[in-house]
Amino acid sequence: MSHGLLSLGLTLCLLEMPGCFSHVSFQDGPVPTADQTVLYIYRPDSPPALRKASVFINDQQVSDLASNEFTWFTVPPGSYILHVKWSPELFISTENINLHIREKETFFVKIEPATVLSLGGSVIRVRLSGGNHPDQITRVWPLNYVEPNTMMLKPVE
Residue 19 lies in a domain: no
Residue 152 lies in a domain: no
Q: What is the pTM of this model?
A: 0.75
- Look up the CATH number of the domain holding residue 94: 2.60.40
Q: In terms of pLDDT, which residue wins out, 54 or 131?
A: 54
Domain count, the chain: 1
What is the residue-averaged pLDDT of the chain?
78
Element holding 7 (H helix, E strand): helix 3-14
Residue 111 lies in a domain: yes
Q: Which long-range contacts (CB under 8 A, 24 or more apart) does 24-31 make?
A: 24/145, 26/70, 26/72, 26/134, 26/137, 26/138, 26/141, 26/143, 29/72, 29/106, 30/72, 30/74
